[in-house]
Structure 1
Amino acid sequence: MTDFRFRLARRIVPTLAALALGLGGLAGASAGTLQLDGIALGEVGLTERIVTDRISGVAIGGYDPVAYFAAGRPVAGSADFQLVWNGAAWRFANEGNMAAFAADPGVFAPAFGGYDAGAVGRGVAAAGDPRVFAIAGERLYLFRDGASRDDFLTSPRRAATAEAAWPALEAGLMR
């Protein structure tokens, strides 16, 4: 019964969140964490399209997605600077990075929801390690290990192959 309720919550909460946003019913909890009726919307993984911690709902291991571009390296985010986008909680190192992400999340969010870009090209959903990354073509890519990253970066066709494979893989994750 608990599993059923969890699956039901995964479907209902995003719908309620969207409705609340439309009605202006969302209130900030503390320092950027969005809540709906006392439920922190980043506290459970609401989507499989983004690599999240199954317990906390935090995307990409809690690393700040903007810092990859601003600092050129992974930087741990803080629960003090957190917002929910696309059903996942995203953490940031500072308020400026959180504001930049809020203004245009698609620029900073990792390609393929943080799944290993090389594996995506082979039709496999393998979580990327946020410490193993590359920025190519102004996109952030995560990889499960250095070998996958090196293989991906050695061929310009790998990105196109992954882009072509992602829609079917993403659809399968949402079932």
Structure 2
Amino acid sequence: MTAQRQETSARRRGAAFIMLLCGLVAASVAQGATTERLVTDRFTGLAIGGFDPVAYFTDAGPLAGREDFEAAQAGAVWRFRNEGNRAVFLAHPEVYSPQFGGYDPVDVGRGVALAGNPKFWLIAGKRLFLFGRAESRDAFAADPARFAREARQRWPGLRETLAQ
């Protein structure tokens, strides 16, 4: 192999390594914030993936909010379906925000901060809970009082380990 071909081959390997490293960094960042007290998207600052938190109560499910109806609350950008939902949320964010900052309450009860998925949800005790997986939601639904109690006990200590 000539010196020129060896040099070209080394550059290609170096470029491939850099591309692989960039891909790994991008993949870890794209998963969303897991060291924040409120789960948000690192790029957009959106809470709960841009879903309208009030819609879980009024429409019995996750509905995407609109850019036209946004509000900043608790260091995040929240989106809503309409002005009414935005006004209700701003009047009572403690009611409509997901409990435990949007982290899975089953995992919080175990002392682990795993971001909830807005598509795995449950309303229990007039509060919204998001779960990382369907199995957690199903376990919580079987005994919500126990899991909520365990999560409430662990949340203050766990919350302090998360960045502000």
Deviations 1:82-125 (A, max 9, x none): 01101000000111000000111111000001111111111111
Q: 1:171 aligns to what?
A: 160
- Superposed displacement of residue 136, structure 1: 0.2
Q: 2:105 aligns to what?
A: 117
Q: 1:52 aligns to what?
A: 40
Q: 2:67 aligns to what?
A: 79
Q: 2:55 aligns to what?
A: 67
Query: What percentage of aligned pairs have identical amino acids?
Result: 54
Q: Provide TM-score, normalisation by structure 1.
A: 0.72
Residue type of the alignment partner of 1:146: A
- Superposed displacement of residue 174, structure 1: 2.4
Q: Decide which structure has the larger Cα Rg and report it.
A: 2
- Superposed displacement of residue 161, structure 1: 0.3
For residues 52 and 170 of structure 1, the distance between their equivalents in structure 2, rounded to whole angstroms, comes to 15
Q: Provide TM-score, normalisation by structure 2.
A: 0.76
- Superposed displacement of residue 50, structure 1: 0.7
1:101 matched to 2:83? The reply is no
> Of Structure 1 and Structure 2, which has the larger fraction of its residues in helix?
2
SS in 1 for 2:71: strand
Structure 2 gaps, min length 5: 1-32
* Cα-Cα RMSD: 1.3
Where in structure 1 do 4 or more consecutive aligned residues deviate above 4 Å? none
Q: 1:143 aligns to what?
A: 131
